[in-house]
Amino acid sequence: MSFAAAIKITMAEKKAREIIKKAEEEAKKIIEGARVQARDITSEDRISKLVDELVEKRRKELEKQLDFLELEYDEEFERLNSIMDEELGEIVQMLIKVIFGEQ
């Protein structure tokens, strides 16, 4: 191998090392950037915001559940408020049979 060729190869190897070094530095930066991003994501501030969003979103579901429950309560009250004497009379006849043994 000629001297010139040896120099060319050495220079190419140097360039190769530089390429790899540059990639490694870039990789470090990428990972460091991700860590910064991760710290931000898991920061108290961001989690609190997330909590607020979740609570707000599910509060609506909760309100729907409560509306549903309230509707059912209203229906129960409608019934309690609409019992007529005639209906009580049916029960009275049933209980009279029990009391006086008229089966």
Residue 86 corresponds to which tokens in the numbers above? 């005639």
Instruction: Tell me how far apart the alpha carbons of residues 21 and 18 are, in angstroms, rounded to a whole number.
Output: 5
Residue 7 near another protein by CB under 8 A: no
Q: How far is the CB of 45 from another protein (least distance, A)?
A: 11
Residue 99 corresponds to which tokens in the numbers above? 């009391």
Q: How far is the CB of 53 from another protein (least distance, A)?
A: 8
Q: Are 64 and 70 in contact (CB under 8 A)?
A: no
Q: How far is the CB of 62 from another protein (least distance, A)?
A: 6
Amino acid at site 78? E
Residue 42 near another protein by CB under 8 A: yes
Residue 60 near another protein by CB under 8 A: no
